Amino acid sequence: MKTENLIGYQYKGGKKTFKAIDPASDKELDGDFHIASQEDVDEALTLAENAFASYRYLDKKAKATFLRNIAEEITNLGDELIERAIAESGLPQGRLQGERGRTTSQLNMFADLVEEGSWVEATIDSAQPNRQPAPRADIRKMLVPVGPVVIFGASNFPLAFSVAGGDTASALAAGCTVVVKAHPAHPGTSALVGEAIKKAAERNNLPEGVFSMLYDDGYAVGEALVNHPKTKTVTFTGSYRGGTALVKLAQEREHPIPVFAEMGSINPTILLPEALENRYQEIAEQYAASITLGAGQFCTNPGLLIAIKSPVTDKFKQALGEAIEKVASSTMLTPGISKNYSNLFEEMLQEQGVSMIGTSANINREKANQARPVVAEVSASSFIVNPKLREEVFGPYSLLVTADYEVQLQQVVDALHGQLTASVVADEGDLKKYKDLIQGLVNIAGRVILNNVPTGVEVIPSMQHGGPFPATTDGRFTSVGTGAIKRFARPVAWQNWSNDLLPDELKDGNPLEIWRMVDHKWTKE
Amino acid sequence: MKTENLIGYQYKGGKKTFKAIDPASDKELDGDFHIASQEDVDEALTLAENAFASYRYLDKKAKATFLRNIAEEITNLGDELIERAIAESGLPQGRLQGERGRTTSQLNMFADLVEEGSWVEATIDSAQPNRQPAPRADIRKMLVPVGPVVIFGASNFPLAFSVAGGDTASALAAGCTVVVKAHPAHPGTSALVGEAIKKAAERNNLPEGVFSMLYDDGYAVGEALVNHPKTKTVTFTGSYRGGTALVKLAQEREHPIPVFAEMGSINPTILLPEALENRYQEIAEQYAASITLGAGQFCTNPGLLIAIKSPVTDKFKQALGEAIEKVASSTMLTPGISKNYSNLFEEMLQEQGVSMIGTSANINREKANQARPVVAEVSASSFIVNPKLREEVFGPYSLLVTADYEVQLQQVVDALHGQLTASVVADEGDLKKYKDLIQGLVNIAGRVILNNVPTGVEVIPSMQHGGPFPATTDGRFTSVGTGAIKRFARPVAWQNWSNDLLPDELKDGNPLEIWRMVDHKWTKE
């Protein structure tokens, strides 16, 4: 495992280093990771810009091969990767093996997408030389990559949203070059994956600088990366504070750039009466599992349940409390996250009208940084007047809000900020009775879910992982699924160029056999 | 002509008023236009939000009819509209008749687009109930409208980028409701068009608030509109200063919103040696016409010409000077724009190394606010070190930058900010010799043009009218052409909903017969 900064194809040491911590033991792990300097930032972005000049034009098959080779190199890392990721994240082996599978699948999915090629939205309007009063020139448009992208590794997906995660896969697929700021919680995992990408780039003789990766245990390197004039776009998954700070930096640049920040959600779920009546026990168990999955460290964790006060809601509450009691504690990603979680749920329990429904009776005393699953409750009237209760508690926590009457359900929804997801648990009568309430959820979320939990984000074309602010900074884009590539491209129109000078995607005869809109019609001709 | 603020279906007067000025005479025109109050802003946006709740679900045929009816009502205004627009803008009759045609065509184009329906990018991934280790739910995604949109009328297109211009047409087409801030340079034109939209909305029994229009001759109403929490998106076409001020306001909101600002460009054109050798006279005449078209008041005006020093470039220069001399002056849009233009080109002529090539010998002394066409020149070395010379001079002005040697051409291009367009005038030998330079123009512009002038922006699907900052605030979007609708929509995914609860666009059997991506394949099935 190399512990120096990866700048193009070179490893470069620095003056200061830091170590990874095993959150299950609070002990330092092997490896002194080198903190990047301002010069390293500049060098990485200069290489990234130089590499972009040729990488952007890489043949679509060659780009697909590169992405598939990254997936292969990650698989080749074998147990070493999983073991290091377990040690650095506290996540269990099965989860990390699954996450590795998701990571390689994402890379292969983007390889398929670029190899197929239609994602560039090629659009052609033929010339009209005889148009009156003036002729119309031939105009053809397609998406082109924006340039070097800075990607912040996320703590909660050490593989699937980190060094070779969805952001990197989609940026490289778009034809952008990438500089990753490795997350300090898992530098060793990052080092291994970074080297896998380097190997894949070398196997394909790609220009040096197509990928670089820098370390820092503070904020200076991240800030320098966002401020660097060669950076064209930034992605980030993390806290509201972190995300909005990066947006501010990016907006204050001489030439502002977009920051795609995913900043968390409380993912409201409305539990409607008939469904609770018919199957409160099953719903309680399903939600207890979703709330505590991965120690609740998912951006789609159901942190808010909304129901109407009734005897059956009381039964559901009891069942939920009992289900939560049975869930064992689990190790959180970092000591900092663990401490924040404990502080925040304790604070929530002190808020006006909030009381505990249930908490885990099964806390592992042998391991450090254990997240205690907690479910609390509050009345809708207390919830509506207290903005604090709408904040995300990152961890295995959920708050049940109980409305006194039906209209209050809508008032609770109206009090919410933008969300990644909004869910409804409903049976047939509920769907008719609460039609407007249910339909209105589209206004606050990027994904609306019926009788399903929000956790488990599928990596498919129809996925939307991005919602109105503050769930993400730009709800018009997604960070999961094939649509994620659109964050890294912009349209360019070519006017009056001869066929041989146009990109292949726009040439007469459609040599790449992609879907195109030609004179207002979709066609593969 | 009603001169009060149009709030939903009601006209409401205010305490203060202002008058329009005829720029050709500097005289006040008929009509006291009422300045909106903060209450008017709030009422317009409250109505817009209420109307959005139902207008967003309007059947696609009904929406298309509404857009076509707006076009009809504008046509029905007849000569009154053209006469008022001439008086308020100083633009000639032919231009305004053409612009009216473009305005109604845009409305009809968006009517066709929404009636066809595929613009929502419907994407379906079928359930996989037997997938291991966990089943996959049915997920379906499409674009939905974002909510109330605030549109600032532009001074330079009193019809096509004003009250019922491309922004309004595309926002209404997306299913958004609209509040227009009328441009104070043409309030009477705005009043007539606003009433046409009101009539069309009434004819279709649309909810009150689908459209409102407010007046102000200052900044307070615009600021209040951008700050209002119900506003979801803003569009603006104007100056860099105006655009960046609105972005700052929008970013400082509790929930930031996008501002699509088009802030002007100098639209570089590279004139290559072989082309100049073969046809310098023709090129000079073509560019003299493009530079002075509409008194140079186009965002795609070619404000920068770049060539290599040579005897033929000297001949081109002389021909350009002579061509410019022959162009008559014309009335600018407002006294303020006219004054700014004179000041700015005079300032430019004082800059180090800048000298005049030619100016109009034909200034109309009978009319006020006449723009004097001016072409100046400067060496590449002076240009590269002087940021002032890269600023837009809004009016019939262009600067010829002469490089001492070939490599300097690239240095001039590298010194430029983001642009709406970049053009090349080249013959066969040039295309081979300067391949890299030409190809690199994609990096700085949204539209790249060969042997064609940048003015004359076609309204078609392949148009890209938006470039890297500061040409626009978001080069991933266009404000002209069918793509403009994408500014007003965001994707939403529906997970695990039964067929009857899904929007028609996503239902099994494709009842709307639109193009959809179903299980990774584009199909109309």
Output the average pLDDT for chain A. 97
Question: What ipTM, to 2 d.p.?
Answer: 0.97
Rg of chain B (C-alpha set): 25
Instruction: Report how far residue A399's alpha carbon sits from residue A394's, in angstroms, rounded to the nearest whole number.
Output: 12
**C-alpha count within 13 angstroms, C-beta hemisphere, residue A202:** 11
Closest residue in chain A to residue B57, using alpha carbons only = A439
Residues contacting residue A312 through CB under 8 Å, at least 6 positions apart: A273, A276, A277, A280
| Contact criterion met (CB below 8 Å) for B175 and B204 | no
> What digits encode the pLDDT tens for the residues A59-75?
999 999 999 999 999 99
**Cβ within 8 Å, pair A449-B124:** no
Q: Which of B484, B247, B398 is nearest to A255 (CA)?
A: B247
Cα-based distances in Å from A442 to A262, A330, B148: 18, 34, 15
Q: Nearest 5°: phi and psi at A54?
A: -105, -35
Instruction: Report how far residue A195's alpha carbon sits from residue A6's, in angstroms, rounded to the nearest whole number.
Output: 8
pTM of whole model > 0.95?
Answer: yes
Confidence check: pLDDT of B57 > 90: yes
On whether any CB of chain A is under 8 Å from the CB of B314, the answer is: no
**Cβ within 8 Å, pair B445-A137:** no
Task: Check A73, A99, A262, A505 and give the catalytic one.
Answer: A262
**Cβ within 8 Å, pair B251-A251:** yes
Q: Which of B448, B473, B490 sits opposite A494 (nearest CB)?
A: B448
Task: Check B49, B274, B299, B505 and give the catalytic one.
Answer: B299
CA A50 to chain centre: 28
- Kind of pairing between the strands at B489-495 and A445-450: parallel
- Interface with B, mutate which of A269, A492, A521 (most B CBs under 10 A): A492
Q: Which of A301, A260, A162, A247 is nearest to A477 (CA)?
A: A260
pLDDT band at residue A276 using 50, 70 and 90 as cut-offs? very high
Instruction: Report how far residue B426's alpha carbon sits from residue A127's, in angstroms, rounded to the nearest whole number.
Output: 19
Closest residue in chain B to residue A436, using alpha carbons only = B53
> What digits encode the pLDDT tens for the residues A460-516?
999 999 999 999 999 999 999 999 999 999 999 999 999 999 999 999 999 999 999
- Interface with A, mutate which of B416, B462, B516, B517 (most A CBs under 10 A): B462
Q: Which residues pair with B28 in a beta bridge?
A: B21
Q: Which residues pair with A450 in a beta bridge?
A: A424
On whether any CB of chain B is under 8 Å from the CB of A468, the answer is: yes
**Cβ within 8 Å, pair B491-A456:** no
On whether any CB of chain A is under 8 Å from the CB of B473, the answer is: yes
- Kind of pairing between the strands at A233-237 and A149-152: parallel
On whether any CB of chain A is under 8 Å from the CB of B247, the answer is: yes
> What digits encode the pLDDT tens for the residues B458-490?
999 999 999 999 999 999 999 999 999 999 999
Encoded tokens for A289: 């599992």
Summarize the confidence of residues A90-99 as an average pLDDT: 97
- Kind of pairing between the strands at A419-425 and A17-18: unpaired
Encoded tokens for A299: 């951006």
**CA distance, residue B52 to nearest chain A CA (Å):** 11
Q: Which residues pair with A151 in a beta bridge?
A: A180, A235
On whether any CB of chain B is under 8 Å from the CB of A499, the answer is: no
Q: Which residues pair with A178 in a beta bridge?
A: A149, A211
Output the average pLDDT for chain B. 97
> What digits encode the pLDDT tens for the residues A352-380?
999 999 999 999 999 999 999 999 999 99
% of chain B at pLDDT higher than 90: 99
Q: Tell me, what amino acid is at B128?
A: Q
**Cβ within 8 Å, pair B255-A125:** no
- Interface with B, mutate which of A428, A434, A464, A502 (most B CBs under 10 A): A464
Please give the pLDDT value at position A525: 92
Residue A104: count other Cβ atoms within 10 Å of its Cβ: 22
End-to-end CA distance of chain A: 50
**Cβ within 8 Å, pair B464-A141:** yes
**Cβ within 8 Å, pair A468-B255:** yes
**Cβ within 8 Å, pair B125-A258:** no
Please give the pLDDT value at position B53: 96
On whether any CB of chain B is under 8 Å from the CB of A127, the answer is: no
% of chain B at pLDDT higher than 70: 100
Residue indicated by tokens 């994620």: A484
> What digits encode the pLDDT tens for the residues B95-106?
999 999 999 999
| Contact criterion met (CB below 8 Å) for A98 and A157 | no
Task: Judge whether B505 counts as a catalytic residue.
Answer: no
Instruction: Report how far residue B268's alpha carbon sits from residue B164's, in angstroms, rounded to the nearest whole number.
Output: 30
Task: Judge whether A299 counts as a catalytic residue.
Answer: yes
| Contact criterion met (CB below 8 Å) for B73 and B199 | yes
**Cβ within 8 Å, pair B462-A496:** no
Summarize the confidence of residues A385-402 as an average pLDDT: 97
Confidence check: pLDDT of A192 > 90: yes
| Contact criterion met (CB below 8 Å) for A247 and A253 | no
Instruction: Report how far residue A434's alpha carbon sits from residue B440's, in angstroms, rounded to the nearest whole number.
Output: 56
Please give the pLDDT value at position B395: 97
CA angle A102, B490, B522 (to 5 degrees): 65
Please give the pLDDT value at position B264: 84
- Interface with A, mutate which of B476, B516, B522 (most A CBs under 10 A): B476
| Contact criterion met (CB below 8 Å) for B479 and B465 | yes
Q: Can you say whether residue B426 is alpha, beta or left, with left for phi > 0 and alpha for psi between -120 and 50 degrees?
A: beta
**Cβ within 8 Å, pair A141-B461:** yes
**C-alpha count within 13 angstroms, C-beta hemisphere, residue A322:** 12
Task: Check A4, A73, A195, A299 and give the catalytic one.
Answer: A299
Q: Which residues of A touch B489 (CB under 8 A)?
A: 476
Exposed, middle or buried: residue A218 (CB in 10 Å: 0-12, 13-18, 19+)? exposed
Summarize the confidence of residues A127-148 as an average pLDDT: 96
End-to-end CA distance of chain B: 50
Q: Nearest 5°: phi and psi at B13?
A: -80, 165
Encoded tokens for B85: 């627009």
| Contact criterion met (CB below 8 Å) for A449 and A419 | no
Q: Which of A148, A123, A419 is nearest to A270 (CA)?
A: A419
Using DSSP's 3-state secondary structure scheme, residue B255 falls into coil
**Cβ within 8 Å, pair A255-B522:** no
Q: Which residues of B touch A434 (CB under 8 A)?
A: none
Summarize the confidence of residues A205-214 as an average pLDDT: 98
Closest residue in chain A to residue B480, using alpha carbons only = A493
Torsion over CA: A486, A492, A497, A501 (sign): negative
Burial letters A452-471, b for 16+ CB under 10 A, else e: bbbbebbbbbbbbbbbbbbb
Q: Tell me, what amino acid is at B320?
A: L
Cα-based distances in Å from B509 to B137, B299, B500, B513, B524: 19, 45, 12, 8, 9
Confidence check: pLDDT of A264 > 90: no
Residues contacting residue A37 through CB under 8 Å, at least 6 positions apart: A14, A15
**CA distance, residue A198 to nearest chain B CA (Å):** 26
CA A173 to chain centre: 17
Confidence check: pLDDT of B446 > 90: yes
**CA distance, residue A246 to nearest chain B CA (Å):** 13
On whether any CB of chain B is under 8 Å from the CB of A490, the answer is: yes
A-proximal residues of B, 272-311, CB under 8 Å: none
**Cβ within 8 Å, pair B442-A255:** no
Q: Which residues of B touch A413 (CB under 8 A)?
A: none
**Cβ within 8 Å, pair A452-B495:** yes
Q: Nearest 5°: phi and psi at A13?
A: -80, 165
Cα-based distances in Å from A65 to A88, A100, A114, A147, A185: 30, 19, 10, 20, 30
